[in-house]
Structure 1
Amino acid sequence: MASASDAAAVPADLLRAQENAVVELVRVGPAAEELAARFDAAGHRLYLVGGSVRDALLGRPAEDLDFTTDARPDAVLAVLEGWADAVWETGIAFGTVGARKRGTAVEITTFRADAYDRVTRNPVVAFGDTIEDDLMRRDFTVNAMAVELTGGERTFVDPHGGLAALAAGNLDTPAAPEVSFADDPLRMLRAARFVSQLGLTPAPRVVAAMTAMAGELARITRERVQVELSKLICGMHPRRAIELMVDTGLAEQVLPEVPAMRLAIDEHMQHKDVYTHSLVVMDQAIERETDGPDLVLRLAALLHDIGKPATRRKEPDGRVSFHHHEVVGAKMVRKRLRELRYSKAVVEDVAQLVFLHLRFHGYGSGEWTDSAVRRYVTDAGPLLDRLHKLVRSDCTTRNRRRAAALQRSYDSLEERIALLREQEELDAIRPDLDGNAIMELLGIPPGPQVGRAYKHLLAVRMERGPLSSDEAEAELRRWAAENGVG
């Protein structure tokens, strides 16, 4: 059913036609049809609800389906018995039963009319009696739509104008946003996530509530915050979402280093501050993605300059410098991403990209030797392709001549990398003698001395390139004699 205001404004026959059109748009697979028939036979009502309806209206694919029902959890389990390939009861205390049928995952939740303790985000579960009660408790109007699949004829239920909001690109809450966010502060971060993923614009009252209540996000576990942040970063419009977080103060609770960059003007004394520059770099990095959203690259682009505020210095000539900000920034990235409970691999990859993002500068002066190129590739390791994208994206100057020169210099570096890779198997640089050869030539057993010799030969290999067997053996014996080994 439509909202009362909508019904008053739209003739009944036209309203019915619109609802029928919506129902036609919401296609469900065989598993949902079978499930609806079983609930109908058991005398219960079943609704496709929330994000499943929203995504169907947007034409977005959905592998998982969300349902709500008047049946209590025990009755839901009885309906699923003999039909589902698998059933899980992880969320049954909150009225949710999960199941899988022929590869389709479904979650079925009993109508809810929860209250919240306002200390954690955990609800005091109370089952509701109507679909309208259930939809009122949901986070946003675009997620408060449902389609009934039982009762013989499908019915579109939209008491809060979610369809109109979706069509207009508006993001609002069914209840007052202050009430909704007090119940579950994570919804404020979800608002930013929907800005990124769906391109929606939050209503002024939503923005006002987010601004006033940003501190409430501290009630949420870091793991839950990280999940929402990752989805936000990997959305279609992450810059808009980051700007919303900074403007409302949410970023201070999640990534305080990002708004801190607004205080630092870059070393070229241009009009843009480091914060704006970082958003542009993230935009340009996204344009260079080839295989879908890259969380590591996007985080590195956003955070590559977070060390600048801490290293900002005014030089005697009046210019501003940020010496070693890449070193400081890499340490800050590790601390922040660990605090957000990112995996060790993500933390280290993002930090290493931040650490290396300035290494390229100076190449254009022609001072880089083959040894420097080898070290660049070796230090980047499997991150080399991302490093290429990050460094190229870090050029945001409006000076076309300078921008073109920087891109030509990096073209030249990539050409040298390709040439050395072809000549030397650059991606797998190893010493010209392995550990067994070192032990045999020096007559030493396994132990620390072998490791020291190996490390020395690797440094020589990086500096001089491949050596012949005779040259490598001579270098090893020279080193061993100088260091009293063997």
Structure 2
Amino acid sequence: MHHVAAALDRLSELAASPTVSTLAAAFDAAGHELALVGGPVRDAFLGRSTNDLDFTTDATPDEILAIVKPIAEAHWDIGRQFGTIGAKIARETVEITTYRADTYDGASRKPDVVFGDTIEGDLVRRDFTVNALALRLPKLELVDPSGGVDDLLAGVLRTPSAPEVSFGDDPLRMMRAARFAAQLGFSVAEPAVAAMTELAGAIERISAERVRDELTKLLSTASPVRGIRLLVDSGIADRVLPELPALRLERDEHHRHKDVYEHSLTVLEQAIDYEVARGRLDSPDLVVRLAALLHDIGKPRTRRFEPGGAVTFHHHDAVGAKLARKRLRALRFDNDTVDAVARLIELHLRFFGYTDASWSDSAVRRYVRDAGPADQLERLHILSRADVTTRNRRKADMLSFAYDDLEQRIAELAEQEELAAVRPELDGQQIMAILGVPPGPVVGEAYRFLLDVRLDEGPIGEDAARERLLEWWAARGA
């Protein structure tokens, strides 16, 4: 049990920190119970660093406020109706919640908050036993009413109450099971998996925003695939992200093609590896991860069996981009995320077309222009590289070298000309002056013509651009 001893050492260090000791003394002086609860206690047993300091107490929200006001640099009561008060103490943000004994009415999306009077009652209604641990302050007594320490040491996620009751109370806990399985590398206890499968439909009671947040947290873990498999296998993904389980295309012996679902999970894992290794984006990058997971969702709709046993998926990039846009909007992702993911899916095949022939400078410029801003180009680099999952070493190396070459070309062209700001050499005002035309659609047409010249030939100088514009104008008039 050296794990437990080490964890208690870590917890007593945490309890001695200025924030925790200040709070503990204030609650003790006011005659109220206070305990550190959930994540920080769990993480002390796992040897992980903790970011959130969550506390629970028998004090009511008003009493909590009265205790923290004199010692806090700031406080807020945004979660007051759920019994939660936030505060900044000794430069750290904390949340303090009154013991809960809440009941869900089984139909609405919101819990009815009922305050409880014991810490044990509060802990038993939490999502998993490993999160139902508390450390009483200031006396440093571990409270573990449901065997959470044993489950932590065994690496198992169990619900403190019967899983069908727990998941029935708040169906989002089923998605939290998948997220914690990925985040902690734990397995989910068999009865909980059975309950997830049986109650999968209940996830439809949860608002799209809460589902989105949970999906985001899962995808932001270091290795989300374990959790994604659980959502797909239990049938929950059929309700929240049906395009994903739809990738499990049946195959027969005549039509051999890669399992698109397994391929997509591999692409996600490889994309995360590239994202971390290249270090050019803030990691975790949700756009990269969503695009990697969903890049082939257009395949089921576009699959055709050709004579001779070949399978084609023509235009699955465009179809997939449209499907992704629709699904991410339904999940209430913000417009920037939706646009960025859809654009990557739309462009994810572009590179493979270019490996067949050598690229012209014009093709390289278009690739950069179509990708968009620098972070989107970096994401496209990551997705294109991650999309190579062939077991054929020679083919994989060839594609990887081809992409190295492309990135080299982009860098060289960018040095020669500011590639990020590809603009024609004449602006709208100059076009109107040269052609003697007022503002109108024709100016846009001329601008696009000059932009194509710029992309195809690089900088040619203002005088040459003027000549080309007049030639175009004469031809257009004719």
TM-score, normalised to structure 1's length?
0.92
Q: Tell me the CA shift for residue 415 of structure 1.
A: 2.4
Helix, strand or coil at the partner of 2:97: strand
Helix, strand or coil at the partner of 2:352: coil
Q: Does the alignment pair 1:395 with 2:388?
A: yes
Correspondence for 1:351: 342
Q: CA RMSD in A?
A: 2.0
Correspondence for 2:260: 274
Q: Does the alignment pair 1:444 with 2:444?
A: no
Correspondence for 1:408: 401
Superposition map of 1:2-401 within 5 A: 21-26=6-11, 27-28=14-15, 29-150=17-138, 153-263=139-249, 272-290=258-276, 291=279, 292-382=283-373, 383-401=376-394
The gaps in structure 2 that reach 5 residues or longer are none
Deviates more, 1:431-440 or 1:190-199: 431-440
Q: Tell me the CA shift for residue 202 of structure 1.
A: 0.3
Q: Read off the aligned partner of 2:393 and give its amino acid letter.
A: R
Does the CA-based 8 Å contact 1:264-1:308 persist in structure 2?
no
Does the CA-based 8 Å contact 1:196-1:233 persist in structure 2?
no
1:36-59 deviation line (CA, Å, top 9, x unaligned): 101101111100001121123333
Partners in 2 of 1:419 and 1:94 — Cα distance?
Answer: 57
Helix, strand or coil at the partner of 1:445: coil
CA distance 1:330–1:193, change in 2 (3 Å)? same
Helix, strand or coil at the partner of 1:89: strand
Q: Read off the aligned partner of 2:18 and give its amino acid letter.
A: P
Q: Tell me the CA shift for residue 18 of structure 1.
A: 7.8
Q: Read off the aligned partner of 1:54 and give its amino acid letter.
A: R
Does the CA-based 8 Å contact 2:39-2:50 persist in structure 1?
no
CA distance 1:21–1:45, change in 2 (3 Å)? farther
Partners in 1 of 2:130 and 2:37 — Cα distance?
Answer: 10
1:459-481 deviation line (CA, Å, top 9, x unaligned): 12112222132220111112222
Helix, strand or coil at the partner of 1:305: coil
Partners in 2 of 1:75 and 1:212 — Cα distance?
Answer: 42
Q: Tell me the CA shift for residue 484 of structure 1.
A: 4.3
Q: Tell me the CA shift for residue 21 of structure 1.
A: 5.0
Partners in 1 of 2:379 and 2:137 — Cα distance?
Answer: 47
Partners in 2 of 1:189 and 1:105 — Cα distance?
Answer: 27
Does the CA-based 8 Å contact 1:148-1:155 persist in structure 2?
yes
Deviates more, 1:277-286 or 1:50-59: 50-59
CA distance 1:156–1:22, change in 2 (3 Å)? farther
Does the CA-based 8 Å contact 2:388-2:396 persist in structure 1?
yes
Q: Tell me the CA shift for residue 145 of structure 1.
A: 0.3
Q: Read off the aligned partner of 1:97 and give its amino acid letter.
A: I
Aligned residues: 467
Does the CA-based 8 Å contact 2:255-2:305 persist in structure 1?
no
Partners in 2 of 1:380 and 1:249 — Cα distance?
Answer: 35
Partners in 1 of 2:430 and 2:402 — Cα distance?
Answer: 40
Q: Tell me the CA shift for residue 315 of structure 1.
A: 0.8
Helix, strand or coil at the partner of 1:105: strand
Partners in 2 of 1:452 and 1:279 — Cα distance?
Answer: 44
CA distance 1:34–1:457, change in 2 (3 Å)? same
Partners in 2 of 1:18 and 1:265 — Cα distance?
Answer: 48
Correspondence for 1:462: 455
Partners in 2 of 1:330 and 1:264 — Cα distance?
Answer: 23
Partners in 2 of 1:162 and 1:346 — Cα distance?
Answer: 37
Q: Percent identity at matched positions?
A: 59
Helix, strand or coil at the partner of 1:289: helix
Does the CA-based 8 Å contact 1:199-1:236 persist in structure 2?
no
Partners in 1 of 2:113 and 2:371 — Cα distance?
Answer: 50
